[in-house]
Amino acid sequence: MNRVNIACVGAGYWGKNLVRVFHHLPEVHLSQVCDADPQIRATIQQQYPEIATGADYDLLLADESIDAVVIAVPAVHHYALARKALKKGKHVYIEKPMTLNSTDAEHLVELAEEHDRVLMVGHLLEYHPAVQMLRRLIESGDLGDLYYLYAQRVNLGIVRKDENALWSLAPHDISVILHLLGQMPDAVSARGECYLQPGIEDVVFANLHFADGKMAQLQLSWLDPHRIRRLTVVGSRKMVVFDDVESTEKVRIYDKSAERPEYDSYGDSISLRFGDVVIPRLEMAEPLKLECQHFAECVRKGQTPISDGRDGLRVVQVLEAAQVSLRQNGAPVQIG
Ligand SMILES: NC(=O)c1ccc[n+]([C@@H]2O[C@H](COP(=O)([O-])OP(=O)(O)OC[C@H]3O[C@@H](n4cnc5c(N)ncnc54)[C@H](O)[C@@H]3O)[C@@H](O)[C@H]2O)c1
């Protein structure tokens, strides 16, 4: 395959970024954009006269020259659109969250396998150079034993009507946490409150517990005075902070720890170590560009993406458990 012929479905707030990036990739021919909204179509037509626009998804899928479909419509439509595309033999990139329940996610994974198609989910942060650096730091043992992590994703931001802050914001952090730890939590609990719209949580605090004692905490809100996009990882030898709001110094490694002598069981013998703070040089590239390049490469070479359908399914399983816990006032919900 030379260039991958791609069609984007949904060119709203996020989809327009995918259109921009795919349009500029030399290995991709972005030939069509499908959007239900005539105004969005007119804007795309004006910006990219060479791209065909339309509103008929079935017509798009009937076009045999299209290799892959990029789906960036509201999550409630993900399953139906992805299912149709896979059944028509198209490779599929689908925005996060992959689906709104794990049964649908499992079905998409099965369909992709059955039709031997690439299925990739837009877990953008898995392609972020800072997250890749974090993973290397964890895998190399540089941080020592990993104790716990916490992610904060808050601001005064887009208030969604058809999903709560958990489903809208947490997929990013959950995907990173599962990517870094390489395991699923055994239990999830979550508490949240609906202040702006009935039944839609604006603020959610979720806790993921892992069988080996690791723990991850998520703070999610679109109703907050601060704009924070931060992940803190605490290990037995070092601690790391990834701050995505920082323009250049995104990762800080704190050579700090609390050390316990191996054969001493007395609490007062724990010593605190305060070492240097290192800001490593990060080879930055736009994560969205890296993600889109990865999709094109997987389609061209028939490879399995980092954020494949199974990864999407795992994130949906965690979200689903957290949602059950939300409705049960934070009661822990077992996974698996
Ligand atoms: N990766 C990220 O960082 C990120 C950020 C924001 C949103 N998203 C995801 O992107 C997706 C879209 O979110 P958004 O904020 O762009 O929403 P949006 O409402 O701004 O845009 C959705 C677009 O899809 C179009 N659309 C809806 N149903 C359609 C259909 N059946 N056929 C054709 N067009 C249709 C709408 O007309 C609209 O233009 C969601 O899954 C969201 O979770 C991802």
Kindly indicate the confidence band of residue 109, based on its pLDDT and cuts at 50, 70 and 90: very high
Kindly indicate the confidence band of residue 268, based on its pLDDT and cuts at 50, 70 and 90: low
Q: Is the minimum distance from the CB of 35 to ligand 1 under 6 angstroms? A: yes
Domains belonging to the chain, first-starting first, are: 4-123 (3.40.50.720), 126-286+318-334 (3.30.360.10)
Percent of all residues in the chain with a pLDDT value above 70, rounded to a whole number: 98
Cis upstream peptide for 97 (omega within 30°):
yes
Q: Distance of CA 83 to CAs 89, 111, 127, 225, 290, Å?
A: 10, 7, 25, 39, 25
Atom of ligand 1 nearest to the CA of 37: 37
Kindly indicate the confidence band of residue 264, based on its pLDDT and cuts at 50, 70 and 90: low
**CA pair distance 178, 157, nearest whole angstrom:** 25
Q: Is the minimum distance from the CB of 73 to ligand 1 under 6 angstroms? A: yes
Weakest-pLDDT range from 28-37, 81-90, 273-282: 273-282
**72 Cα: distance to centroid of ligand 1 (angstroms):** 4
**Residues β-bridged to residue 47:** none
Q: Is the minimum distance from the CB of 66 to ligand 1 under 6 angstroms? A: no
User: Is pLDDT above 90 for 267?
Assistant: no
Per-residue pLDDT averaged across 277-284, rounded?
Answer: 94
What residues have CB less than 8 Å from 158, skipping those under 6 apart?
Answer: 13, 168, 222
User: Is pLDDT above 80 for 261?
Assistant: no
**CA pair distance 74, 165, nearest whole angstrom:** 14
**CA pair distance 252, 278, nearest whole angstrom:** 6
Q: Provide the total of helices (H) and of strands (E) in the chain, helices listed first.
A: 9, 15
Q: Looking at ligand 1, which residue's alpha carbon is closest to its atom 40?
A: 74
User: Is pLDDT above 60 for 105?
Assistant: yes
Predicted local confidence at residue 336, as pLDDT: 80
- Round the CA-based radius of gyration of the chain to a whole number and report it: 21
Weakest-pLDDT range from 32-41, 240-249, 264-273: 264-273
The mean pLDDT value of the chain amounts to 96
Predicted local confidence at residue 115, as pLDDT: 97
Using one digit for the tens of pLDDT, what is the confidence trace for 159-189? Answer: 999 899 999 999 999 999 999 999 999 999 9
- DSSP codes, 201-219: -SEEEEEEE-TTS-EEEEE
Strand order in the sheet with 52-54: 52-54, 28-34, 4-9, 68-71, 91-94, 119-121
Q: Looking at ligand 1, which residue's alpha carbon is closest to its atom 3?
A: 124
Under DSSP, is residue 194 helix (H, G, I), strand (E, B) or coil? coil
Atom of ligand 1 nearest to the CA of 55: 33
Predicted local confidence at residue 270, as pLDDT: 86
User: Is pLDDT above 60 for 7?
Assistant: yes
User: Is pLDDT above 70 for 266?
Assistant: no
88 CA to centre of own chain: 26
Per-residue pLDDT averaged across 231-251, rounded?
Answer: 97
Using one digit for the tens of pLDDT, what is the confidence trace for 52-100? Answer: 999 999 999 999 999 999 999 999 999 999 999 999 999 999 999 999 9
Predicted local confidence at residue 259, as pLDDT: 86
Best of 9, 14, 77 for a ligand 1 pocket test (most atoms within 8 Å of beta carbon) = 14
**CA pair distance 8, 73, nearest whole angstrom:** 10
**CA pair distance 299, 295, nearest whole angstrom:** 6
Contact call for residues 102 and 110 (beta carbons, < 8 A): no
Best of 45, 56, 73, 79 for a ligand 1 pocket test (most atoms within 8 Å of beta carbon) = 73
Q: Is the minimum distance from the CB of 72 to ligand 1 under 6 angstroms? A: yes
- Locate 187 and state its tokens: 């239990």
Q: Is the minimum distance from the CB of 37 to ligand 1 under 6 angstroms? A: yes
User: Is pLDDT above 70 for 307?
Assistant: yes
Question: CB 105: neighbour CB atoms within 10 A?
Answer: 29
Q: Distance of CA 1 to CAs 4, 65, 117, 214, 250, Å?
A: 7, 12, 14, 44, 37
Atom of ligand 1 nearest to the CA of 124: 1
Atom of ligand 1 nearest to the CA of 14: 16
User: Is pLDDT above 80 for 1?
Assistant: no
Predicted local confidence at residue 49, as pLDDT: 97
Percent of all residues in the chain with a pLDDT value above 90, rounded to a whole number: 94
**69 Cα: distance to centroid of ligand 1 (angstroms):** 14
